[in-house]
Amino acid sequence: KQEVTQIPAALSVPEGENLVLNCSFTDSAIYNLQWFRQDPGKGLTSLLLIQSSQREQTSGRLNASLDKSSGRSTLYIAASQPGDSATYLCAVGNFNKFYFGSGTKLNVKP
């Protein structure tokens, strides 16, 4: 059974800092991996989706990498801003469902 782990559970950084969020998964037979953002009291917003054949995806200040063989993905956020404060979840796609990690709660201090 697929298990997804995210470390750290919480992270606090000053504004402007570059940061990396980590996601690991136990079964490397995945279709894709997706990073989501969750704001308090809100649903999830998809940030980046990496297919199993890809190594990375970029959107603006965000860059997600995937190393399927080692069961790892990272989300790199450049020049962090207070508006980036949220919980970030990764989800591994296997056939027709996603397995989610418990998220990293990010706080970017002004």
Determine how β-strand 4-7 pairs with β-strand 97-100: unpaired
Residue of 33, 13, 34 lying closest to 84 (CA atoms): 13
Q: Which of 14, 41, 60, 83 binds another protein (CB under 8 A)?
A: 41
Instruction: Output 18 or 58, the one with its CB closest to another protein.
Output: 58
Q: Which of 24, 34, 65, 73 binds another protein (CB under 8 A)?
A: 34
d(CA 19, CA 5): 18
Determine how β-strand 62-67 pairs with β-strand 72-77: antiparallel
Q: Which of residues 44-73 bind another protein (CB under 8 A)?
A: 44-46, 49, 51
Judged by the rule CB under 8 A, the positions of this chain that interact with another protein are 31-32, 34, 41-46, 49, 51, 87, 89, 91, 93-98, 100-103
